Amino acid sequence: MIELSGRSAVVTGGSRGIGRAIVLRLAAQGADVAFSYRGNADAAAETAAAVESLGRRGLAVQGDVSQPEAADALIKAALDAFGKVDILVNNAGITRDDLIMRMSIEDWRSVLETNLFGAFYAIKAVTRPMLRAKSGRVINITSVSGQAGQMGQANYSSAKAGLIGLTKATARELASRGITCNAVAPGFVDTELTRDLSEALKEQIRERTPLGRFGTTEEIANAVAFLASDEAAFITGQVLAVDGGLVMM
């Protein structure tokens, strides 16, 4: 069984969807969890209360991860509350889909700044305390779009592909101090975003996925919990696809 008792974790974008499932899974395995949220205070409060109901400490911190000072404030809040940060999960992300010829510069920039720059800022903020502790787990949530590309998602695919490069560079830089960095690449997952897709498109996705279905947020969280645990101590710089076989590298 994955055991995270005595650990403290930070999850960006943790109030809803995949992020919320990750927060609750880490808490269920024994970790105290701080998480960021951008605007939905009610969802954040509910998630923090759910962590507390599991017998762990939960801390919701409002902030926009595309701003470096927000990452610094999030890590500082976790250090003040828990005394350390053992696990960082970079989950926060947005989409602004459009074809390249129609995509605005603002939509290109905002997706890169949130999905890629935000992860860099959080890693930068947590590196020093993890180096002092000579241990740590960093897990970045990338996507099948970053592995294979996706029409209408030049910004998102670029950000998620960049996140894979950031994962590998971080893994090399920090390995000598006992810190691992890996990525999880979800396929199509049943969330608020995918529920808005047309039934015809959903069926196309199922047909393209060898396992024939959408994933669940809990299945993504399971992979994150494994990579955050001692069982994954000799794994670093890897991308774990949790996509029902959609992208086979």
Residue 53 burial (C-beta neighbours within 10 Å; 0-12, 13-18, 19+): exposed
- Residue tagged active-site, from 156, 188, 214, 226: 156
In order, the DSSP letters of 126-154 are HHHHHHHHT-EEEEEE--HHHHH--TTBH
- Residue from 109, 6, 31 nearest 66 by CA: 109
Residue with tokens 């903020």: 125
- CB-CB contact of 173 with 211 (8 Å): no
Phi/psi for 153 (5° steps) reads -130, 45
Residue 156 annotated among the catalytic residues of the structure: yes
* Helix extents (H) in the chain: 17-28, 41-53, 68-82, 105-112, 118-133, 144-148, 154-174, 192-195, 199-208, 217-228
Query: In the structure encoding, which two tokens stand for residue 137, read together?
Result: 């787990």
Catalytic residue list: 156
